[in-house]
Amino acid sequence: MELRAFAEQVLLRPALEEKLTPPPAELTDVEPGPAVRVVEPTRTPELEFAPRRTAPSMPSPQALADPRKRAIAHHIMANHELQALEVMAWVLLAFPEAPTEFRMGMVTVMRDEQRHTRMHAERARRLGVRFGELPVNCYIWKKAQEFESVLDYLAGLPLVFEGRNLDHTCELSAAFDAAGDPRSARLMQVIHDDEIEHVRFGIEWLRRLKRDDQSDWDAFVDHLHWPLRPGKARGSQFQRDARRAAGLDEEFIDRLEHSTDDDASELR
């Protein structure tokens, strides 16, 4: 199977089962094809992006004592993981000139995103909400439409969205545990461990593709598109050790820890 065909399967086939079918072990990237920028992923009607402000918001930690609220949280996160998967497929089609090693490395991350989507969808179902039963937003997808290069992608998705999830997964794991749901808590810890490797993939390729005269931090900031900014790459409980494990250097971690969510001063 060609890598391009796998990307098209994820992005252009509507059935969730097909989107979440892992690629075969033997993938090739002999024919990456021309660049294509898909405007929106093809989804079944119940999972199509809903109008603004119609999708449910993430329940508060206190609300998670209610099983339905926990189901809603997993439904939201299943859509986040599915969007990330679709963005990765979009990158493979939009930037066929990217190094083959990068493109093949994306497949490992995409397998994780497929698995994460299934995990959240299954947990939501067991808690009483079928994936697709509620409206879903398009926030991650829409932000990806601003990416103009692989470096933009690396700054935006692995280092902002997945970087922020290093904190959110721990916060939600603790909240689920406090709500008496150790299964959901463990699910979040599994995803946390995977996110460390995803951030590692992002920073390693940022270093390989950035200009030699740039620091990691400057390359990261230079490739962010508003409203993405450094403060969006962290949660409320900053996981410094997880970022060290992902390979971020101390300067990067320090500057990230002191970034605020509404601070635009770092962007040039």
Give the model confidence (pLDDT) of 103-116 as tens digits. Answer: 999 999 999 999 99
Residue 119 domain flag: yes
In terms of residue numbers, what domain contains 77? 3-19+65-257
Residue 120 domain flag: yes
Residue 36 domain flag: no
Residue 177 domain flag: yes
Instruction: Report the pLDDT value the prediction gives residue 260, as an integer from 0 to 100.
Output: 83
Cα distance between residue 79 and residue 242, in whole Å:
24
Asked if 156 and 229 touch (Cβ cutoff 8 Å), the reply is: no
Residue 28 domain flag: no
Token pair for 102 = 């990068």
Asked whether residue 265 carries a pLDDT value surpassing 50, the answer given is no
The count of domains in the chain is 1
Per-residue pLDDT tens digits for 2-60: 999 999 999 999 999 999 999 999 999 999 999 999 999 999 999 999 999 999 999 99
Confidence of residue 262 (pLDDT cuts 50, 70, 90): low
Instruction: Provide the H-helix boundaries in 14-95.
Output: 16-19, 67-94
Per-residue pLDDT tens digits for 136-173: 999 999 999 999 999 999 999 999 999 999 999 999 99
| pTM given for the model | 0.96
Residue 29 domain flag: no
Q: 176 Cβ partners below 8 Å, 6+ apart?
A: 64, 70, 182, 184, 185, 188
Residue 69 domain flag: yes
CA atoms within 13 A on the CB side of 116: 28
CATH number of domain containing 79: 1.20.1260
Residue 159 domain flag: yes
The proportion of the chain whose per-residue pLDDT surpasses 90, expressed as a percent, equals 96
Average pLDDT, the chain: 96
